[in-house]
A and B are shown apart, each in its own frame.
Chain A
Amino acid sequence: MKAVGLQLALPSAIVAVVLSAGSVSATESSAVSKREVDAKISYCQDCHGPQGQGYRGFYPIPRLAGQQPQYIENQLRAFVERRRPNPIMSNVAHVLRPGLMAALAAKFHSFNPRPLGGAPPGLAAKGENIFLNGVPEANVAACAACHGPEATGVGEIPRLAGQLYPYIVRELTYWSKERGQIPSKPDTSVIMAPVAHSLSRPQIEAVAAYLSTLRK
């Protein structure tokens, strides 16, 4: 009986150890104090704006407000994995623990400030047409088909509404130099590559101008 008891006790002890070890490592990776989260949010806000509205620095710093959390998290991982090499954001993302990424994504998703503005005037109507109907002769599908009729995005597909004009222009212009840079790790950015290539510079500017004014 004693032996049987030991036999029973041993596996359950092992299970208990394994379980507790699992839960310890889980808390280590995900438990982030509120203070740590708040400090990191304030750090993001230093560049991306108090409400995540974006900022025109030397480089355009994108709007994060209302952004899809899954998109934000995927981009942060892309910076870490160098799928999206960016000297500034790679440094930023490298020190983020998984629990932090989710908290930051949720916070910036919750903001809804007015768009920053600053696009050249007179382009929005042409941009709206491209966004809603695509450019059939260039084989470009309607942006709205994936990004939604109000450009709010879904899942890993980003919200574009209210995004900074110079940021959208830059991203579409350099898409294949900035995104999906690890061929062995293809990501959703591959979907955009042919679209970005097919749009002319004036078309890119028109779409960017239209999106930069969109509110929701």
Chain B
Amino acid sequence: MKNVCSILAILALAAAAAWSSAGRAESLAIRNCTWCHGTSAEGYTPAPRLAGQRASYIENQLVNFRAHTRDNPLSKLYMWGAAANLSRQHIRDLAAYFSAISPRAADDGDRELAATGRTIYQEGLPNSNIVACVACHGPEAQGVRQIPRLGGLAYSYLTRRLEQWAEGYHAAAGPPMPGIAAKLSRHQIEALASYLSFIK
């Protein structure tokens, strides 16, 4: 009987351990994210791809959704609620989880605009005082630290985000993005978004 008890105790401990790792995955509420962001987190209009995004960027965005700093209409509608009850640990775990998934390019921009977009991204337009995106977002638009990966994001998401800087919405990032994006014309935004959407 005593043996049975200790076997049961061991089994219970083992089960608890297994349960806690399953529980941890469950606690990440990944399914709550993938309803909108796609089952493999590759994005699903209008929710952006999270796969391969910089972990620090995801963390920073979730913190700012929770704080109601990032305030464009869809953020208010979906992400404020989604982030409301996330603990700091939840946020770190979600960011680590999604950043580790390998990203696929959306490939949905206008191919004819991609060359113009490439010039703006890689070289800037010095005569128009438009800076080269590559300085911060990297030569393959891969991002770094809290600076997001842009390569392969969806055309519609990129165009909206670039437009919103000039529309007075707030975002997690302060300077320099509002000033930079406000200088871009509609055509330049479409060209950039096209170029970026094709980057693997």
Report A's interface with B, CB cutoff 8 A.
39-40, 42-43, 45-47, 49-50, 55-59, 61, 87-88, 91-92, 94-95
Which one of A40, A46, A49, A55 has the greatest number of beta carbons of chain B within 10 Å? A46
Q: How far is the CA of A94 from the CA of B127 in the complex (A)?
A: 9
Q: Which residue of B lies closest to A48 (CB)?
A: B176
Q: How far is the CA of A99 from the CA of B166 in the complex (A)?
A: 31
Stretch of B11-19, B128-136, B192-200 at the chain-chain interface: B128-136
Contacting residue for A91 out of B126, B139, B175, B180, CB 8 A: B126
A-B contact pairs, 7 of them (CB 8 A): A50-B175, A57-B136, A57-B144, A57-B147, A61-B136, A87-B123, A95-B127
Instruction: Count residues of B near A (Cβ-Cβ below 8 Å).
Output: 23
Q: Known contacts being A46-B179, A88-B124, is A58 close to B137, with CB within 8 Å?
A: yes
Known: A49-B176, A55-B136, A58-B143. 16 other contacts (CB 8 A): A42-B179, A43-B129, A45-B175, A45-B176, A46-B176, A47-B131, A58-B135, A58-B137, A58-B144, A61-B135, A87-B122, A88-B124, A88-B134, A91-B124, A92-B124, A95-B126
Q: How far is the CA of A49 from the CA of B175 in the complex (A)?
A: 8
Q: A42, B135: Cβ atoms under 8 Å?
A: no
Q: How far is the CA of A42 from the CA of B145 in the complex (A)?
A: 25
* Residues in B161-197 with C-beta less than 8 Å from chain A: 175-176, 179-180
Shortest CB distance B116–A (Å): 15
- Would you call the interface of chain B mostly helix, strand, loop, or mixed? mixed
Q: Known contacts being A91-B126, A92-B126, A95-B127, is A55 close to B134, with CB within 8 Å?
A: no
B38 within 8 A of A: no
Residues of B within 8 A of A55 (CB): 136, 176
Q: Which residue of A lies closest to B177 (CB)?
A: A46
Q: How far is the CA of A45 from the CA of B179 in the complex (A)?
A: 9
Q: How far is the CA of A104 from the CA of B93 in the complex (A)?
A: 45
Residues of A within 8 A of B176 (CB): 45-47, 49, 55
Q: A88, B145: Cβ atoms under 8 Å?
A: no
Residues of A within 8 A of B134 (CB): 58, 88
Q: B180, A58: Cβ atoms under 8 Å?
A: no
Contacting residue for B135 out of A40, A88, A94, CB 8 A: A88
Residues of A within 8 A of B175 (CB): 45, 49-50
